[in-house]
Structures are given as structure tokens and as C-alpha cells.
Amino acid sequence: MTKPVVLLAEELSPATIEALGPDFEVRRCDGANRDELLPALAEGVEAVLIRSATKMDAEAIAAAPGLKVIARAGVGLDNVDVPAATKAGVMVVNAPTSNITSAAELAVGLLLASARNIAPANQALKGGTWARKQYGGVEVLDKKVGVVGFGRIGQLVAERLKGFGVEILAYDPYVSAQRAGQLGARLVTLDELLAEADFITIHLPKTPETLGLIGEEALRKVKPGVHIVNAARGGIIDEAALATAIAEGRVAGAGIDVFASEPCTDSPLFEHESVVVTPHLGASTDEAQEKAGVAVARSVRLALSGDLVPDAVNVSGGAVAEEVRPGIDLVEKLGRIFTAIAGAVPVQLDVDVRGEITEHDVSVWGLSALKGLFTDVTSTPVTYVNAPLLAEERGVETRLLTDPVSEDYRNITTLRGTLADGRQLAVSGTLTGPKMVQKLVGIDGLDLEIPISEHMAFYRYADRPGVIGTIGGLLGEAGVNIAGMQVARDDEQGQALVALTLDSAVPADLAEQVMSQVGVDQFRIVELD
């Protein structure tokens, strides 16, 4: 059996390879070299693992028609075209927590190095100058430290600095004063932080809103003698404006690990002894690299096994409870059955979930339903990534409805949709028994209970004798054996619905033959291979 191909476009830790396991063919290339990367991607690659040097832009994504996952062994995604990946149905995963400790520790190190002039003193001494008086510094004790961005890394920095006896000021529009207080910080506005802080450390993501946030205007508001640290993202601090503020004496010093353009070997900040700089070392520890590689390797394993990776950056949802996970595949199959029976995609779809399962977050089932709806009606490979995009492009509106009360089953999920021509269809399913058997239990309010199988057929007809036997004969002549059958009808003289599970696929022309010879109103084939 052919193994899925995983391409390592950059050097990753041995633990990464170990985490992937033996189920994949691992290839390597120099991802920074486009002439090497693009041909390598074209050779059946299903997942590519990168760090920061490899650019997975639209061109690279297009070069890999079989690509399913881009895994960035790190936090930032500046080198990945996420919209292009989403459109192509390619999942993008990263390791958002792998380097948080390393980044926090570096920020603290830069702050202390700036406060005590460690870098210039080291350089002077190695150059033969004993300059004790020239490189005196300031204590951190009893100072105010302003943390700009109070997310996971900002909180870790605050936690470590509290041991130095400082007061923590926090600025973050998405953090409540109560939450900041629980962590020993005082939540303030940015202007308040700039005016009060003796040290400022930046821990914001790079966004259009944060780009240049600490620029000329902000640096005119800082407390004289402030030290500024940026170990987050380049461009948040205006480097030229900071260099000017240092030259004018408004800022005493800085510790900078990231730059607007990287690699950076020339910056106005380099002219000042009071600035300690490092070449983007925030994640450059053995521990962070190993954590990042192992985390994305596990995500790749999940994705290539067809499982949902709910924390992928371009997949809507969130953490999925273990109780919810078995229903993901069921709901996807219900979506495929819906489309097969309807012969079209609905314009409005309700995903109606009832029963005790609603104690958990089942929002991922809405995503599964969309994936199922489109799987068999588009030539584009449908994934958890691009299913919402396909729905948006086709004007499909979806709602998730939940109710803890389920009268007939412990849990039941119904996909209820309205088609463009006004027709309505409802398909219901559930999981039964200790083995969580997937069963179809209703179509348009008609009760059924039949295991969902790889090969199925459904037909409606005006109830009368002989129809079932005739269709059975036609299937037999075509070499198709009936494994199971359920008949449902609304009344004795009304319409009947027959659901069949089959041992093999139904020939495509058989549906037309049944329709013409037997006179059924509808004959639909469902192939769930």
C-alpha cells in the first residue's frame, strides 16, 4: 500500500520524524530554494512541513495538486498564503504554544540586558576596555513594567517579572480588567501605559491595526528614560522613530529581537550602544523547536487520516469533545445522503441536533454537514477547510439548532433543507449501541432504522403490490445483492419510501431503467466510498 508523502522543506528535530511515525513516506528538500521546492511539491506531496524560510504562496500551493496540509513548525504564518490555501481546501496548522516559554524568557532577558547595558559592556571588555562607570544601569525593583498585549506570552512575561518586585501594567483590548487583576496586573489604556511605564515590552500579533503602533506619536508620550523591548513581531515598533527617540534621550534603551524586514543587517537602531539586538531568536531554543515539530507532526497525522484538526488556523470550530467526535463522520454522511436524494444542494440548511449530546459544543457538526453536502457535487476536493467557502459562494445559509430533549433516540441529528425550487427534505441519523453504529432513522418524517453502508439506494413510489419484487429482480439481473431493506409509508394507500443497503455499486444506467420500467417517482443511488 502506498504511503502518503510528507515533505520536510526545512530542517526539523528528530522528534518530529518520530512523531510522524512509520505510516508516511518522508522526503526532504530545501524549501528556501524555489527551483527545488516547486518540483518537489508536484510529486504527490500531501503534507509539507516548514519553518520560516519556505514561502507557501499561491504559486507553491498550485504546484501541489494533492496537497492537504501545510504545517508551520512555529507560530507566525507570514510565509503562508492562508486565503489561497483555504480556497484550495488545504488545511494550515501551526504550533501556537510551542515557543511561548522561549519567547517570554527572551523578552525578560532583553529587558534585563537593556537595563544593565550588558551587550555594550560585554563588547567593550572583549575589546580591552574596563568601563565600569560608562555602563552603569538601573534596577528593575519597584519599577512599572508595561506589557503591551496580554495574551499567553505577555502573561508569562508578567508572571516571571513579578519575582523582580515590579508593578505590571497591561494593555490589551481583548482582556477584561477582572482577568488582568487575577494575574496580578492593572489594566490600562495604551496612553496610560506609555506615560507611566519604566519598561515596555511588546507582545502583540502583527496585524494592520498593530503595524507601527509604537511610532513617532506614541514615543512622544513615553516616560523619560523608558526601556522598550520587542520580541514579538517586527513592524509593531517604528525602528526609525525609536532610533530618533533614543538619540534625543526620550528613550534610554531597547532590546529588539524582530525587525520590519528580515533578515536585517542594517538598521538605525544599530548605531546606538544602548540597544541590544538579536536575530529573531524568540523560538530558537532546542525545547521550542522540538515542541513545534512534534505538535505539527501530530496535526499532520490527524489530517491525513481524514480526521478533523479543529485548531487548524483556517478551520472554523474549536476543541472537540471526545463524546462529539464519533458524530462527525455520521453527520458528513447524512450530508452526502441529503444531496444524493435531493439531487441538489439546499439554499437553506438547518443542522438540528437533539439529545444529551447537546451538553457539549456540537458546532463542528455544522462543518461536517457542509463537507458532506458538497463532496459529491463539485469537482473541487472538499475539505473541512473550504466547505464554508463553497457554501458562501453558492449562497447556502446554515443554522445549528440544539435541543436537549429527544423523544425516540438518545441523540438524533436531522439535516433539514430547502432547495432553490422550494422543495424541502429532511434526513435523520443517529449512533446506536456500544459500537456506535451509524444508522439512518428518518427521511422526510418517515421512520426508518437502517445501518448506513457504502452502497445505498432509495426510491419513492405510489404504494402498490409488486414494486419491491420488480426492483429486486432488476438489481439481481445487474449482479447487485440487497443486504438490507426498510420500507416506510405515511399511510396504507399513500406514498412509500424504500431504503436499500447493497453489497456493491449500482450501475449508473440502472436508475433510468427502474424509473422507466417500474414507474417509481424517484430512484436515487448513494455511494459513500
Q: Is the peptide bond before 263 cis (omega within 30 degrees of 0)?
A: yes
- The answer to whether 411 touches 353, Cβ cutoff 8 Å, is yes
- To the query of whether residue 27 is one of the catalytic residues in this protein, the response is no
Which grid coordinates are listed for 366?
A: 455544522
Whether pLDDT at 426 is above 60: yes
Q: Which of 233, 336, 354, 455 is catalytic?
A: 233
pLDDT of residue 512: 76
> What average pLDDT does range 406-416 have in this prediction?
94
pLDDT grade for 370, boundaries at 50, 70 and 90: very high
- The answer to whether 388 touches 370, Cβ cutoff 8 Å, is yes
Q: Checking DSSP bridges between strand 5-8 and strand 411-418, what pairing results, if any?
A: unpaired
Whether pLDDT at 493 is above 60: no
DSSP letter for 261, please: S
Whether pLDDT at 399 is above 70: yes
The tens digit of pLDDT for each residue in 238-290 reads 999 999 999 999 999 999 999 999 899 999 999 999 999 999 999 889 999 89
Q: Exposed (0-12), middle (13-18) or buried (19+): which is 478, by Cβ within 10 Å?
A: middle
- To the query of whether residue 410 is one of the catalytic residues in this protein, the response is no
- The helix/strand/coil state of 74 is coil
- The helix/strand/coil state of 49 is strand
> What average pLDDT does range 98-115 have in this prediction?
96
**In angstroms, rounded to a whole number, what is the distance separating the alpha carbons of residues 64 and 44?**
7
Q: Which of 51, 272, 280, 455 is catalytic?
A: 280
Domain ranges of the chain: 5-95+287-304, 100-277, 326-527
pLDDT of residue 469: 84
Whether pLDDT at 77 is above 90: no
pTM of the model: 0.65
Please indicate whether the domains covering 5-95+287-304 and 100-277 agree at the CATH topology level. Answer: yes
Instruction: Give Dmax (Cα) for the chain.
Output: 107
CATH class of the structural domain 100-277? alpha beta
pLDDT grade for 75, boundaries at 50, 70 and 90: confident
The tens digit of pLDDT for each residue in 437-458 reads 999 999 998 899 999 999 998 8
Closest CA to 282 of 98, 119, 155, 53: 98
- In which residue are the cell numbers 482577568 written? 179
Q: Provide the mean pLDDT of the chain.
A: 91
pLDDT of residue 486: 86
Closest CA to 357 of 317, 413, 284: 413
DSSP letter for 166, please: -
CA distances from 67 to 24, 92, 359 (A): 14, 11, 36
> What average pLDDT does range 198-222 have in this prediction?
95
Kindly report the CATH number that applies to the domain delimited by 5-95+287-304: 3.40.50.720
- The answer to whether 349 touches 369, Cβ cutoff 8 Å, is yes
DSSP letter for 159, please: H
Q: What are phi and psi of 304, to 5 degrees?
A: -75, -15
pLDDT of residue 492: 58
**Amino acid letter for position 172:** D
Q: Could you give the angle at the alpha carbon of 163 between the alpha carbons of 158 and 165, nearest 5°? A: 90
CA distances from 425 to 338, 415, 417, 461 (A): 8, 8, 6, 16
The tens digit of pLDDT for each residue in 22-74 reads 999 999 999 999 999 999 999 999 999 998 899 999 999 999 999 999 999 98
> What average pLDDT does range 142-158 have in this prediction?
96
Please state, as a whole number, how many other Cβ atoms lie within 10 Å of the Cβ of residue 1.
Answer: 3
pLDDT grade for 340, boundaries at 50, 70 and 90: very high
Whether pLDDT at 318 is above 70: no
The set of residues, in sequence order, having a beta carbon less than 8 Å from that of 432 and lying 6+ positions away, is: 409, 439
> What average pLDDT does range 132-154 have in this prediction?
95
- The answer to whether 240 touches 213, Cβ cutoff 8 Å, is no
- In which residue are the cell numbers 531554543 written? 285
- The answer to whether 147 touches 192, Cβ cutoff 8 Å, is no
- The helix/strand/coil state of 459 is strand
pLDDT of residue 382: 86
The set of residues, in sequence order, having a beta carbon less than 8 Å from that of 252 and lying 6+ positions away, is: 114, 138, 225, 226, 227, 246, 274
**In angstroms, rounded to a whole number, what is the distance separating the alpha carbons of residues 220 and 242?**
10
pLDDT of residue 402: 96
- To the query of whether residue 280 is one of the catalytic residues in this protein, the response is yes
Q: Which CATH number fits domain 326-527: 3.20.20.150, 3.30.1330.90, 3.40.50.720, 3.90.1640.10?
A: 3.30.1330.90
Whether pLDDT at 311 is above 70: no
Q: Which of 25, 216, 262, 477 is catalytic?
A: 262
